[in-house]
Structure 1
Amino acid sequence: MQSNLSYILLFLLLFCSLTNTRSQDIRPKVKPIPMVVKNSLSKAITTPEKIIKNDTLPLKKQDSIQLDTIKPKEAITDLITHVAKDYTTQNATKKTVTLYNEAHVVYTDIDLKAGIIIIDYINNTLFAKGIKDSTGYNQKPVFKQGGQESEQDSMIYNFKTKKAIIYGIRTRQEPGMFILGEKSKRVNDSTIYMRNIKFTTSDKEKPDYYIGVKKAKVVPNKKIVAGLSNLVIADVPTPVFLPFAYFPMGKNRTSGFIFPAIQTGTSNRGIGIQNGGYYFAVNDYIDLELLGDIYSNGSWGFRARSQYYVRYKFSGGFNLSFEKLIRSTRGFDDYSEATNFNIRWSHRQDPKASPNSNFGASVNLGSSQYFRQSLNEFNNSNFLTNTFSSSISYQKTFAGTPFNMSANATHSQNTNTGTVTMALPSLQLSMSRIYPFAGKGGIKKNPLQKIGLTYNMQGEYRINTSEDEFFTAKMFETANAGV
């Protein structure tokens, strides 16, 4: 039993040794990498039916349109003409030109004069300002374009965008409106946006009165559209406000408000508003202007003006004025009241309108003291006038007959004596000479045929009165009528 166990152990030992030796002799298997056959398919297949196409989509053709070779348009397209009194300097590095003292630049429709002008060719800009010296700020830039002219403290103009930034602008618009703005943006020659503006009819650099507006749009010679507006007198805001304002500025007739002039107390009527109102552009043939005045002492006035014109027919104008004037203050020795009026009318008929008739008028009547007391009509020629005269006439020729007629209404007034003389009307009817016994063809051989007849009739209704009784029933008490 013991010997058998020994044989078994010996056998196991030999078996393990043989197994270990065999495992060390086994080499690792190397898997060969197959060689890639280059383009073997194309060489093997030669028939067209068996050609394998990689992609059946056609290749995109290259765009035959070439890139734009035109160079971009330069900002400065015209010659810039410039001159200066003292000197002109050029900076080649910064590409700038500086003009000093009485500088003047002309470019296309732009004309600019200033104390100092700097042209920047890199940024395509132009800068202009005045010159400070011992007398103050002089030679402010004066800019002209498109028939518009403005004066400003300084400005920057861009040649490329054709826009400008303006500081301290001052310009005039028709009719008699001055515009002062703190900062403005000129979009083009027809549109300006402004900030902190003063609208006034005063031509002073610092006006005594104006309408203050924060923002506004100005279309030169056409209109002004503004926001909240406030009337300012002597730099003191008044309680007069407008939520918005529209001022027509066109040369063509347009209905709109008329900006008043402000009286700051230089007269004995106190502070007041003068010639404010509204203009009605009724149509192409007639207009109407309503104006009013009001003063702090109670004086007031009203005026209505109209012009009419019909081509090849007639033309004329009408003016009606009425004023209630108070001088000084009630209770003082120099206190006085006066009521004055004036009526003026002119009418002219075109000779082509009616060859057989004509109508014309020239009327000027009213209070004797009107031109001497009214602030609106005060001038030397009217102040020295001592006679008002009027005439309204109508002439008629009856075609085919020897008759003609004329009717006239006349008025004469002495402003010194106050006497008034009127003829309402003066009528005249006449017949030119006829020969009732003349032969055929107007032959006049014998004395009977030479007998001629003529006729003339004249009638008049005349009134002599005084200015106090003028336009009252009492003035007819002394009237005389006769033929």
Structure 2
Amino acid sequence: MLSVVSRVVVWIVALPLLSSPLFAQHQADSDTSKISLKRVLSDTSGGLKRIANPPPHALEGRPSTSRRDVQPARVGIDSSVTYSARYIESLRSESTIHLIGDAQVKYKNVTVKAGKITILWDKNLLIAEGLPDSTNGLAPDSVKIDKSTLPVFSDGKETMVGERMEYNFKSEKGRILRGRTAFQQGYYQGDAVKRVAPEVFNVLNGRYSTCDKAEPHYHFRGKKMKVIVGDKVIAKPVIFFIGKIPVAILPFAMFSTKENGRQSGLILPQFGSSPEEGRFLRNLGFYWATNDYMDMRFTLDFFERTGILFRTHMNYALRYNFTGSFSGSFTRKDFANRSERRWNLNINHNQQLGESASLRVNASFVSNNNFYRELSSNRRQVLRRQLVSNATFNKSWGQGKNSLVVNLKRTKDLETGSDLITLPNLQFTHNQSALIPFKKDESGRTKKEPRWFNFIQYRYRGLVLNTVRKDSSNDPDAEVNRRAEHDLTLTFTSPKKIFGWLSLTQSLVYDEDWFDRTKTFKLDTLTNRIESSKDVGFAARHLFRYSASASTNLFGTFFPHIGAIRAFRHKMTPSISFIYQPDFSSGFWGYYQTVRDTTGKEILKDRFAGSGARATPRGEQLSLSYSLNNLFQMKLGEGDKEKRIDLFNLDFSGGYNFAADSLNWQNLNTRFRATPRRNLNVSMSMTHSFYDTDDKGRTINRLLFNKGSFLNFLRLTSFRFDARWTLSGRKSTPAPAVAESERGAPQDLADLDPLGLGPTGESEDGFSPEGAFSALDRPWRATISFSYSLNRFNPLNPSRSAYIDLSNMEVQLTQKWRIGYKMRYDIERSEIADQRISFYRDLHCWEARFDWNPKGIGKGFYFKINIKAGHLRQVKVERRGGTTSIFRPF
């Protein structure tokens, strides 16, 4: 219980009180206040001798005598005082003015409104009180105060309501009894608030809560507080109450009240327990806004059974120059009855070097391969089995035509422990440009009509790469590979359409790779295995490929004039492409080595394998590809109300390989896509083969057409159908849309989220679990998906699968209860493959969530109860369990 106390107490009195203005718009309680007449009429610190109260009903039915007067500045007062009221009584003998009924006094930027205001000019003192409700007298010395007449104190943007107020014009100090105000999703009140300076208040018995009940479900209380408006609040001691029960206490606390930008202060912890760690406390720490360019976060996680995890995170930024962060963690915990050290380090740096250059650094390091598995409850981090670190320098010039990239990269496999280090990777690129540019005059216009050769474009890329591979962290022998490559692409697009309707494009791609070593292969006759050895020395590989394509568009339109339908249009886009690439595995090129095994079988081995470059292409490629894309559209309405709707797409593609010794015809692929409604998507794909199968279901080089059946010339080999339907009830409260231009991009540290907190206030640090429920602004919603696939490559052994997915299903059962459900049902096996059931309960100023995964990844349960207010969501208690939970029998 004490642990819960320590986590809750630190923040709440201070956090709401201090991270917002001290005074805001007053929200009155539903009950009227009782004030003793003896206390109301007693002599104040200002020395009030007599307060003139009009008799009951004196103000009812009489003509308004409201007026507005300006009192010139007096000795000690450096500004005029403006006041008004329905009834004004001036006692010159006592230098006193009584303002009764809608009384208002303005002095500099201070405004006081009340049912009754008394000004003692000789003491420079103002006293504001509420008027008694004369219809509800309770006793000779007690009345109910009309709450609409309670004093309201305003100082700029800050506003506070109290039962009684006093203000000194000369010292500009004041006092408010039982003040209460609403701000930052919460309510603040104190027994006495004394203004000791224009921006400084002393508060006695201050209380804060986001609960709007007269008796709040929770609140934070500080016996003594000093509030520096727009800066900080200092309180001692701070106690967190649930109801009237104190559950946590801190002897001293200091909180920021800055409205904008970053704020230094304590970070609320998270409480929970697990079967492995026992009870735990996460994210207890301090956030430090160091200056305008840097901030830091220090947190610790305490685990009852295994120890403490220390974490730190630092952000830095300089607008238009650089941004970055450092984060890391350290622990000395007990793993399998032994104490070991664990740590991790993450580095992120982005820097703009002038207008055309930039530097990007991202690095991740861990003490051992199981760091996230042992210490993180974030599923994505647990499943992460590679660490990738990068440092990249990028430079462009020549109006973006030229670019240079220098990259250093390290990839660590957390499963095998192997390392692949790229040190460095240099790449130069010249983007597409005219090989023979147009000749232009001084005005930028072409001197004459461009010729065909002016439409030849080229693109060049060069790369130098050095890689180091280590099979494990203890491997003393690292494999080093160096290579260089460059490629040139020439593209020609016909400036005019052939025959006026056919577009033609041709391209030639040339690749050249340089290596510092190759491989030689030989057969080990004892094991019948092919062994390789390295040959150090320069070697080059030259590859090229030629392609050409032609396409056109055909249109057909039908005008039915049925109702609002004006026309149907069918757009066809037929295209053909030709590709040629020689067989680089032939002995002519020398890129492959032929090895015979003990059976005499010839095996081809790539001499450049393992260098990091792509494999040398095998087999000649001489193919013709074709496609026919169909788009069906419908036009509705006329004139300004005309609307065009895409009905569906139906595409076909295939090809013929002239270089293949068999099975020359490639499969015919068909794809159908449609969106009949905005919330319904349907897609279908099929693959057909032109060839028959043998008695074992294997494809053979025999066309189905040659079997004598003219109509049966295709064989279905695969089929897939998908449908996705999104449903929801009507939106209850439309959310205002925010344009991208209004959001802007973070430019410096003040624009960033320094703690890495999302909209819910949850930290995305790689250690916390992912969220489940999302915001629901509709009574219900659901997404239903159906998928069916059939595999008939071997017609004798077909396989199929069918699933129904129910995702994002949420129903608002009542005003307080919400239920969510996610399920994947395997139709073929008639079983549920995965599911999750979620419950949400609105507990007024608190909220609770319960998730249960009966099976699959993340099997177990998760329970959390937390304060609903966004800035206090970290005040929570959570519980999770896996296979050892109470749901284990299910």
Over alpha carbons, which structure has the higher Rg?
A: 1
Q: TM-score, normalised by structure 1?
A: 0.48
Q: Which structure dedicates a bigger proportion of its chain to strand?
A: 2
Q: TM-score, normalised by structure 2?
A: 0.29
Higher relative contact order (CA 8 A, sep 6+): 2
